[in-house]
Every structure is written in C-alpha cells, then in structure tokens.
A and B are shown apart, each in its own frame.
Chain A
Amino acid sequence: MSGSNSVPVTEQGMKIVGFLCNWCSYGGADTAGVCRFKQPTDLRIIRIPCTGRMDPLFAAKSLIYGADGVLVSGCHPRDCHYAVGNLYARRRLEVLKHFLPFMGIDPRRFHYTWVSASEGQLWQRVVTDFSEQIHQLGPNPGIGAESEIFEKLGN
C-alpha cells in the first residue's frame, strides 16, 4: 500500500485513451478503485471484450487525432478468457509499437501491458507510470490542422 499516495499532482490534464479488456484489466482497474488506490485522472477507459478485439488502428487513430497517449492492457498471456486473443494482440501491438516511430509518432506515447483482475496495485503502478511518462512528453503535437478539432472537443 506504500505507493498509494505517491500520485503526482498534475498541472494540466492529458488525454490518455485506455483500451482495457473486459475480463482482466478492466477488473484490475475496478479492483484498484474498490481498494481506493489513488490514480491519475488523465486516463479515459474504453472497455473492449478482449485485447484480440484491439485493432492497432484504434491506437493509431487516437494518436493521429491528437490523443496524448494510448494504453492497452489485457489478460496475461496464456490467461486470456478466450484462450488466445491476447496472443494475437501481442504480435499486432508489438508491430505497431515498432511502426509508429517510422511515421514520426513518438512510440513512448503508446504502451501495452498485461494486468489481471486481482492486480489492483499493479494497475495503479501501470497507470501512474504511464501518466507520468505522458506528462513528461507533454501534449501530442498531432499531425495537422485536424488536430485542432480534438482540442476543441477536449477543452
């Protein structure tokens, strides 16, 4: 529980999109909430049935349109509710992580990891570390004029 109060106070909110699998990480985030672990508030969670549902384009679109970070989390490999969904996801997301910098998008804005439903503390650490990293990187400059739309919507 020692880490439960070490959340940095942030000067400005960031937009981080979190794609969490229904069976593990969403439950893990819930566990963290039930245990009242303090978490940064920059994360907007989108619940997906399985990381196998995670189209790499979800992450790409978020980053292109100016989201400051994208976090994907699912069941640990071999623990997938649907047996193998996260094993497909692992390959796709790893390819995406290597591909983003080639197009000029900072790969540090994208992170994928595995958190089970019981790992509330791990979830707290994951979300805290990633939020800190995004705050260090600052706002996503985005691609072009269209990113302004995102700003208007966000603020």
Chain B
Amino acid sequence: MFENATKQLRETVEAALPELNTVVGWRAGYDPLHMTPVFIKNAGDLSKLEWSPFCVQNLSGYLVKDPAVRAQDPSKKIGICVKGCDSRSLVALIQEKFIERNQIHVFGIPCRGTVDWRRVMKLGPLTGIQSARVEESRLVVEDANGGHTFALEDVLARKCLRCAHPNPVIHDVLIGEPVTPRVAVENSYGEVERMEEQSLEDRLGFWKKELDKCLRCYACRNACPLCVCQDRCIAETREPRWLTQRVGTSEKFLFHFIHALHLAGRCTECGECERACPMEIPVTLIKEKLNKITLELMSYEAGMDPEAVPPLLTFNPGETGL
C-alpha cells in the first residue's frame, strides 16, 4: 500500500524539482526496517526517494542545524518531506524566524504511524532481515528464519500511539488522503497522567533510575530540531559553566532540566530525542509534561499556528491566577 504513496511522492517531487534547490526526504537504509535521510538534487536521484512507516526521522532539523541545507540559488526554494509531527517542528521554526515560510516547499504526508524498530527487535530477535512491510494493521517481516507477523499496535513508536496530529499542519502539496487522528489533544497525555498519579517519592525514584542511565552523549539534544543553540549550548559552555564533567545523577538531572525547560512551550513532541537516545530513556515524557502544563495554563499547543508566539516568549498582563 506504500508503493503507491512512494510513487505519488516521487511524481510530485519530480514536478516541483526544477523550482527547488534540494529536496530532503528519506531513502532505504542498511536494512528494510531502517530508512535514512536523502538529499535529492536532480531527477536522477528520484528513484532513491521513498515513503513508508519506517521513515521515522524528523527532517526539519536539517534546515537549521549545521551543516544546514542552504539554497545555492536564492531564487529557489528548499523542498522538504514531512509527516504530521514533523510539520509542527517546521511551524515552530517559522514562528521563531529560523526559516521563512516562502523559502521552503513542503511535501506533506499524512501518517498512520511509524514503526519503532526497537520494539520489533524486542518482540522477536530478527537476524538477516530481508523485507519488511506494513499491511493494514500488521507488520510483516521476513528474515533468515522465515516470516514474522506483528500487530502494528505493538511496534508503533510511542509518540505515534498518542498522535493527535497525523496530518501536516502546513504543506504546499499533500501526498495521499488525510488520516483521522488517533486521539484528541486533551486525551493524548495518558502516560503523563499515570506518572502524576504516583507519589512524589515514586516519581523521583523513577527518574533517578531512568536518568542514571544517561551517558550525557547529548544525542537527544542533537536530534532535537528545536535545540537551536548549536555550539553555544549551556550544557557545554565553560562560561557560564552550568555542568561539570562529574558523572553524578544530579548532573544528568540538570542536563535534562536544561533540555526540557529550554523547550517549554516550544516542543512539538516529534519524539526525536527519545528515538535518538541510546539508553532508551523516555526523555520525550519530560517534554510532554511541560506541554501539558502550557496547554492547561495558557491553552497553547506548540507548532500549530505560524503566526502565534510561544507562550514563554511573551506575556499577558491581564493574566490572573498565575
């Protein structure tokens, strides 16, 4: 069912390519469960471009993070393929003036969820994967030992199971039909709510256990399309010196506070931090809580309106109760 979408994507990109410098998309990776980003510059590369539920990466970071994709010819735009969640990162970047809407050409793809390869591997250790495809609500994988079928619900990424915005918020062209969201925004914070039901001590214990695993490799920060401080990140600067080289849990706590609080009211929950984490720490959960707070206090949802100002970058003098 994704062959058609891939075909349609290639045709749409081909039609727009003469007006574009580069198109950022996905191509096949080192095995059928993995995709990898691709930069299409000419029509000859179009056959590499693919779309499937294995296209997990949020590509919008490539527009702002060094070495950022820049237009060689300023009269031409940069094309980018986005899922629903990725498009919200684009909106957030437009809001904060890191990119201009009229400099990008957005290929929006309604998304039914992406496959988390780690969940697949946990369910069945697979070796020598030959093919992987999603059919309706099943994932079918063929490896050296034959065929394996998984229920899609068991292998979708955590962020996809609570997805409220499967359709791109902004797009120049839409590839495929819009998808019905799984949940409403108000109901998408189930895991945060389950955490909130625990006692303070249990929550501290949970985060101590989880964050103690942190290597401070900063992969979460590097994967985040909205962590835009680049080499000025205060987690690494000597002056001001927020963090030391000590390996204690408190340093790890503080790093994750830095990451989360810098994203408060900005994070679009694309889940890249959690996907990039080599220690499988549920780091997106921290940002989900902050988003729930800004939703409840300021009725704000990040990355929905390019004209809006993120709530912590502005104020409301008439606000009461705060």
Instruction: Enumerate chain A interface residues (CB-CB to B < 8 A).
Output: 56-57, 60-61, 64-65, 77-78, 84, 87-88, 90-92, 94-96, 98-99, 101-106, 142-147
Contacts and interface: CB of A to CB of B under 8 A. Distances in A.
B297 A84 contact: no
B250 A146 contact: yes
A119 to B, nearest CB: 20
Given A57-B261, A98-B293, A102-B289, A147 B250 contact: yes
Contact of A104 (B204, B260, B290): B204
Contacts of A61: 242, 254, 257
Nearest to A96: B261
Contacts of B196: 102
B30 interface: no
B44 interface: no
A-B interface, 3 closest residue pairs, ranked by CB to CB distance from nearest: A104-B204, A144-B249, A146-B248
B208 interface: yes
Given A60-B254, A95-B293, A99-B293, A104 B207 contact: yes
B315 A65 contact: no
Given A56-B261, A57-B258, A95-B297, A104 B201 contact: yes
A91 B317 CA distance: 11
A102 B203 contact: yes
A143 B250 contact: yes
B208 A143 contact: yes
A94 B203 contact: no
B298 A57 contact: no
B316 interface: yes
Contacts of A146: 246, 248-251
A60 B293 CA distance: 17
B245 to A, nearest CB: 12
23 contacts: A56-B261, A57-B258, A57-B261, A61-B242, A61-B257, A64-B253, A64-B254, A65-B254, A87-B316, A90-B315, A90-B322, A91-B315, A91-B319, A95-B264, A99-B260, A101-B200, A102-B192, A103-B204, A106-B200, A142-B250, A143-B249, A144-B253, A146-B249
Contacts of A84: 315, 317
Nearest to B248: A146
Interface string B283-309: 000100110011001100000000000
Nearest to A145: B248
B257 A60 contact: yes
